[in-house]
Chains A and B, each alone.
Chain A
């Protein structure tokens, strides 16, 4: 499993805007680079990132071959109710990873 770092507050007052930062370890091989043998290295990128807040989608990003390795995505959301945020990255070669982080709204 790729290492992912998710940084967000554990608790937040109801109605406040919270910032979520995500970073995941991934080579993001573009598919345009030749390897040592002169042939193109096959594309291997994360194509999609989705964040669900208690089952409801709150953020989605489509990534392209121009994205840097170890993609870093940051976004904000409104803290409405205590619940779980589920972060899902998926991409080439069946790459799929999910991570859950709990948020307590006070």
Chain B
């Protein structure tokens, strides 16, 4: 019993240990290799790090609850792009022309609604047809991306609203707007998963679906709600990011699903469902962003980041298996 608790504590702490290791490593290595004069653990640098990890981070938090539920969502990148297009394009629609800056909340609502609807489509298909979420979202990843391209061809969709840019670049209590959104989502999802019936049932369904059904839990609506949430969060991520950048390419957001899943798995959530934690995913997101920044700081390029993240993912999987040899079911998809 005590060894089990120890293992669990060790695993939960592992991601934070890894982050600490990264901080120390890059600070030390940076003093030898870095071309810039600033220190790595500089306050501004860290604040920027939080801000930059927000887009993937918000999606990864949503991915966590879907994966705890025993599903997966590969379509988040396409949902992200489509919501971004709705956000930017709706601001230029003639019906909203007389509204001035009041168009912002409407565009936000439209974009978030788009995400929630796309998520609901996935969720309904998974629920009603019984097709595996992997296949359903693999399909809708193609389909939603197709919609993105059909919307505006291969041209970027652009609209810069300066009020919005000011809002997105603002800092409140030292933290950027995007960071606040990331933290807010984390808190809300933590409450949802740990303090509500939905959260408890989501864990139960992911752990053992048969048992959950036998216990009288209605599996379908819970899965649907989680898909709606991840769609909504993918849209929120787009809203946060594109309010500032103001231009979306039709290919934006591709591979986001892979980054998000990587962050979730680094945080220790099981693919088979039933376990995982919002806080650890936050750790996973920060760890990845630290790695990207840190490797850039010591002069390595994107290629090294890809290489290192891939290898770390495999290493984490190996270590995790060594830690709980007895755990079953995690080898199946």
Q: Are both chains from one complex?
A: no
Give the interface of A toward B (CB within 8 A).
none
Give the interface of B toward A (CB within 8 A).
none
